[in-house]
Amino acid sequence: MSKVTVLIPARWGSTRFPGKPLHLIAGKPLLQHVWERSMRAKGIHSVIVATDDMRIAECAFGFGAEVALTSPKCVSGTDRCAEVAKRLQGVSHLINVQGDEPLIDPLLISKLAKSLSKEPSLEMITAATPFTSGENPAAPDIVKVVLNRNSDALYFSRSCIPMVRDGSPFTYLRHLGIYGYSRKFLLQFVRWKPGKLEVAESLEQLRALENGAQIRVVLTKHRSVGVDTPADVQIAEQLLFQRSTHR
């Protein structure tokens, strides 16, 4: 049977926001919000915080999280997840939930876990959402994805894809940074060297496509908010308050 574990990689040394995982948002550490919402997802065997920093580990222990200590040499959150995956026994799939999204939707995590469990041959899965009318698909800081008819990714780009030449209506898809993997595939993924497309776009998921892997893309209406800088804290707090009052 499939066993899906959520891994939340967390590091102290963010260049734009040092100590970000422990910054208080609405009275709780950012990391605790992510962990609590991940714990509400269905079809999940366990939720583990992966970190190389004892300050983060002690905080996570304090609010009841399971913690796996990792090497400080991990280059990315994916590498950190793979290091933990090597040590896990009996786990078939992993979902990498970014540790800076306090509004991550438990239903989205559940949806990815269900897809992985129902389709054991699926190596990698992620999510996307349609652009809203006020968003600019040409913005390079927003990653776009195009799909084939089976909802597998054809390409991810910071450019506007596709370029609609005649102005016909087209629903652009905004990629969301959550990933699920089979354990076997994740361990293979981190052994591959970054390819030319990954380096050019600075998008790690292109490594999978460059090596011929299939990436299933789940569509969702959910929108999360990443906390990348101290300025994002107030936005996240306002959204948390709004959602709590509309329950």
pLDDT on residue 230 = 84
d(CA 142, CA 157): 9
* CATH number, residue 160: 3.90.550.10
> Domain residues for 110?
4-245
CA distance 49 to 78: 13
Cα–Cα dist 227/225, whole Å: 7
Do 9 and 51 form a contact (C-beta atoms < 8 A)?
yes
Regions of the chain with pLDDT less than 50: none
Position 115 scores a pLDDT of: 96
Tell me what pLDDT residue 245 has.
Answer: 56
Backbone φ and ψ for 187, nearest 5 degrees, come out as -65, -30
Please tell me whether residue 244 adopts helix, strand or coil conformation. Answer: helix
Give the pLDDT of residue 70: 96
Total domains present in the chain: 1
The one-character DSSP state at 28 is E
Q: Which two tokens stand for residue 23?
A: 């910054």
